[in-house]
Amino acid sequence: MKIKRKDAFYGEFLIPGDKSITHRAIMFNAAAEGSAVVKNALLGEDCLSTIGCMRALGAAVRIEGGTVYVTGTSAFRDAECDCGNSGTTMRLLMGLVAGRGVNVKFTGDASLSKRPMERVARPLRLLGAKVETTDGTAPVYVRGSALKGCRVDTQVASAQVKSAVLLAALGAEGTTTVCEPLRSRDHTERMLAAMGAKIRTEGTSVTVEKSALHCVDVDVPADISSAAYFMALGALRGETVCKNVGINPTRTGILQVFDRMNVQYSLENERTVCGEPVADIRVKKSALRAVKLDRDIMPSLIDELPVIAVLCSLADGESVIRGAEELRVKESDRIETTAAMLRAFGGDCETLADGFVIRGKKSLRGGSADACGDHRIAMSAAVALTASEQGGEIAGADCVNISFPQFFAMLKEPEAQR
C-alpha cells in the first residue's frame, strides 16, 4: 500500500464499531436466552471469527449489512472452533464453554497459534475446568467438567483473562472473585450486568455468582482504538472529528496522554448508549511535547501504543514508555515492530524489555516498512507516512481487515467522510 504525504488533513469520520464490544455482544447473546440485535457491529475478520465459532457451538447468527441478529442457545454442542487471528475469541470462549458439558477444540492461524494461552488456562483450572494447551499455545482443548467458584488473582491486568474467568464463573457453583493488579477494561462487567448476571465490582476486584443470561440488544459505539489513528492525524496535520466514539474510562488512556503531550482536543455531544459513555472527539493540530508513561496507565491504552509512539517520534523531547511488556505477545512483538517501523521512516526509537525510548524529531523522512501481519502496525505506519516528508509504502497492509476494513479508503479521501 502506497501512502502519500499530506500537508493538511481534515475530516469528520464515522469510525467502525468497537471490536471488544462487538465480540462480547455476539458471544454473550449467543449463550443467553432469547434473541438480540447488535447494531453498528464491527465485521472485520476477528469478529467474523467469533460469529463462526458461535455458529459452530449451536447459536443462530445472521448478518444483514452492519447489523447482526443473534438467537442464543442454552446448550452448546461439541465443536471445533477456528478463531482465525483473534485472541479475544479464543481466550473468552475458553471460559464461556468451560463447565457447559461440551468438548471443544480451539484452533487459530499461525500468528494466534504462537500467542500464550496458559495465562487463561491456569486460572480456569482453579475453578475445576479441564483445559489443555499445546505447549502453552493453541490448539487448546476444553472438556466437560463441573466448576466451583473461588478467588482468582491474575498475574497481569488483562481484560481477556478476567473475562474468561467471569464467563466460566457464570456456570460455577458458589461465588467467584477475580482480583487484578490493575483495573483492566470493563466491557464484560457492564454487559453481563445488563444481561442479568449477579455481578459486582469493587476497586480492582470483580465478584460473580452463578447466573443465567438474557439477551439484550446492543448499539455498538465507535472504537476509540480505531479512532486513535485519525485523532493522531488531527494532532499532526489539521483537524479531525471522530463521531460516536466510546469513552469508557477504562479505555481512554490515550486522552490522558493527549493531556500530557499538549494535544488540543475536546469531547462533544457526550451521552450514554447501552450503558457505555459516548462522545464526538475533535482534535486540532498541536505542538507536541514528549511524555513519560508507566505501567499504571497501560491497561487503558495498550492497543494505542504504536500510534502514540508515532506521535512521540514527532514531539519535542525524549519520551519514555515503560511497563508495556504485554506488547510482546500481540499479533506481532509490537515493541520490536513499532521500533522497526519508526526507524525505517527516519525516527529515533530505542527498545527496552518493556517499552521504548523515543527521541522526537521535527519530521520523519518516510520510506518503506513491513506491517508484519499486525493491523495496528499497518495503521500506525500509515499515520506516520501521511505526516512524513516523502510518504512511502507498507508491505502486508491488507492485515488492517482484521479490525478496520475501511481504513485506507477513509485515509485516502478524508473529506468524503463528512
The rounded Cα 250 to chain-centroid distance in angstroms is 12
What number of CA atoms fall less than 13 Å from residue 153's CA on the CB side?
A: 1
Amino acid at residue number 268: E
217 is catalytic: no
For the stretch 110-126, what's the b/e string if a residue is b when 16 or more beta carbons lie within 10 angstroms of its beta carbon?
A: ebbbebbbebbbebbeb
Distance CA 175, CA 206 (A): 11
Distances (CA, A) of 121 to 92, 160, 253, 364, 391: 11, 12, 28, 43, 44
| DSSP states along 238-270 | EEEEEEEEE--TTT-HHHHHHHHHT-EEEEEEE
Contact 170, 197 (CB under 8 A): yes
Contact 145, 128 (CB under 8 A): yes
* Catalytic residue (choose from 186, 219, 303, 370): 303
The rounded Cα 241 to chain-centroid distance in angstroms is 21
For the chain, what's the residue count? 418
The β-bridge partners of 235 are none
Active site residues: 303
